[in-house]
C-alpha cells in the first residue's frame, strides 16, 4: 500500500489551524490563571493551623483529582446547560478546577519546604500572618515549586484538547473538521502534534529558565513530592 503525504490541503486550511491554535493558547492561559489562584488558596489552606481549612482543602483536592477531566467538561457543558455558559468558559472551568487541585498540592509542598523559623521570625518582627506569607514564605516557596508547576502547566495545555468534545473550536476541534473535509488524516495530525510540541516545549523551557534553580537540592525534593 502506497501513501503519499500531501500537505497542500493542510496549507489551504491554515486559517482554521491558526484560529484553533490561538483558541488553544487562550483557553490554556485562562485556565492557567484560574488554576494558580485556586491552587494558592487551597494549598495555603492545607497548611493552616485550623482543622476546618485543612479538611476543606483535602476534600477539594481529592474530589477534583478523582473525577476524570472529561466528566468535568461534560458536567459544566451538559449537566449545567440551563446556566447557558459558553463552551469556551465551560472548558476553562473544567480545566482550572481539575488542574487547580494539582497546583494546590504543589503549593502545599512548597510552603512546607520553607523552614518554620522563617515564618516565626517574620511574625516576631511585627509582620501580620498575611504579610509573613506574602513577603517571606511565598517568595521562597515559588522558587522551589516552579519545576513542578512547569509540569502541571504543560499537562494543562495537553489536556485542553479535551475541550474539543464540548465544541470548543481549539486546534484539535479544527483538526477534526479539516480531516473530515480533506481526508488527510496523517498530515493534519502531524501538524497538530508539531504545534502542541512547540507550545508545550516553549512553556516548560521558559519556566525552567525563569526558575534559575537547576541543580538546587530543595527544588528537586519539592519537584519529586
Query: Rounded to the nearest 5 degrees, what angle is found at the Cα of 82, between the Cα atoms of 80 and 87?
Result: 65
Q: What CATH code is carried by the domain that includes residue 195?
A: 1.10.3720.10
The domain in which residue 189 lies consists of 8-223
In a domain, 206, yes or no: yes
Asked if pLDDT for residue 35 goes beyond 70, the answer is: yes
In a domain, 176, yes or no: yes
In a domain, 198, yes or no: yes
pLDDT for 37-92, tens place per residue? 999 999 999 988 889 999 999 999 999 999 999 999 999 999 888 888 899 999 99
In a domain, 15, yes or no: yes
In a domain, 109, yes or no: yes
For residue 119, the Cα-to-chain-centroid distance in whole angstroms is: 29
Per-residue pLDDT at 221: 42
In a domain, 173, yes or no: yes
C-alpha cell at 123: 511574625
Per-residue pLDDT at 95: 96
| Other Cβ atoms closer than 10 A to 53 | 16
Q: 1 by DSSP, 3-state: which? A: coil
Yes or no: say if 161 and 28 are a contact pair by the CB < 8 Å rule.
no
In a domain, 72, yes or no: yes
Yes or no: say if 46 and 104 are a contact pair by the CB < 8 Å rule.
yes
Give me the DSSP letters along 120-181. HHHHHTT--HHHHIIIIIHHHHHHHHHHHHHHHHHHHHHHGGGGGGGT--SHHHHHHHHHHH
Asked if pLDDT for residue 220 goes beyond 60, the answer is: no
In a domain, 2, yes or no: no
Please give the average per-residue pLDDT across 6-28, as a whole number.
Answer: 94
Yes or no: say if 35 and 103 are a contact pair by the CB < 8 Å rule.
yes
Looking at the structure of the chain, the number of domains it has is: 1
Yes or no: say if 123 and 117 are a contact pair by the CB < 8 Å rule.
no
pTM, two decimals, is 0.85
Instruction: Label residue 222 by pLDDT band (50, 70, 90).
Output: very low
Asked if pLDDT for residue 116 goes beyond 60, the answer is: yes
Per-residue pLDDT at 212: 66
Per-residue pLDDT at 218: 42
Amino acid at each position: 500500500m502506497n501513501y503519499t503525504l500531501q500537505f497542500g490541503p493542510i496549507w489551504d486550511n491554515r486559517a482554521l489551524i491558526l484560529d484553533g491554535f490561538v483558541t488553544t493558547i487562550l483557553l490554556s492561559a485562562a485556565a492557567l490563571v484560574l488554576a494558580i489562584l485556586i491552587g494558592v488558596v487551597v494549598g495555603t489552606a492545607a497548611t493552616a493551623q485550623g482543622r476546618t481549612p485543612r479538611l476543606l482543602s483535602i476534600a477539594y483536592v481529592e474530589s477534583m483529582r478523582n473525577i476524570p477531566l472529561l466528566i468535568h467538561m461534560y458536567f459544566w457543558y451538559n449537566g449545567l446547560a440551563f446556566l447557558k455558559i459558553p463552551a469556551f468558559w465551560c472548558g476553562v472551568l473544567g480545566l482550572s478546577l481539575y488542574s487547580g487541585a494539582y497546583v494546590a498540592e504543589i503549593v502545599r509542598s512548597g510552603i512546607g519546604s520553607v523552614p518554620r523559623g522563617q515564618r516565626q521570625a517574620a511574625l516576631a518582627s511585627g509582620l501580620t500572618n498575611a504579610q509573613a506569607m506574602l513577603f517571606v514564605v511565598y517568595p521562597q516557596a515559588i522558587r522551589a515549586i516552579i519545576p513542578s508547576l512547569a509540569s502541571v502547566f504543560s499537562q494543562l495545555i495537553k489536556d485542553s484538547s479535551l475541550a474539543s468534545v464540548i465544541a470548543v473550536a481549539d486546534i484539535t476541534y479544527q483538526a477534526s473538521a479539516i480531516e473530515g473535509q480533506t481526508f488527510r488524516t496523517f498530515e493534519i495530525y502531524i501538524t497538530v502534534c508539531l504545534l502542541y510540541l512547540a507550545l508545550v516545549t516553549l512553556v516548560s523551557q521558559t519556566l525552567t529558565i525563569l526558575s534559575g534553580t537547576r541543580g538546587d537540592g530543595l527544588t528537586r525534593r519539592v519537584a519529586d513530592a
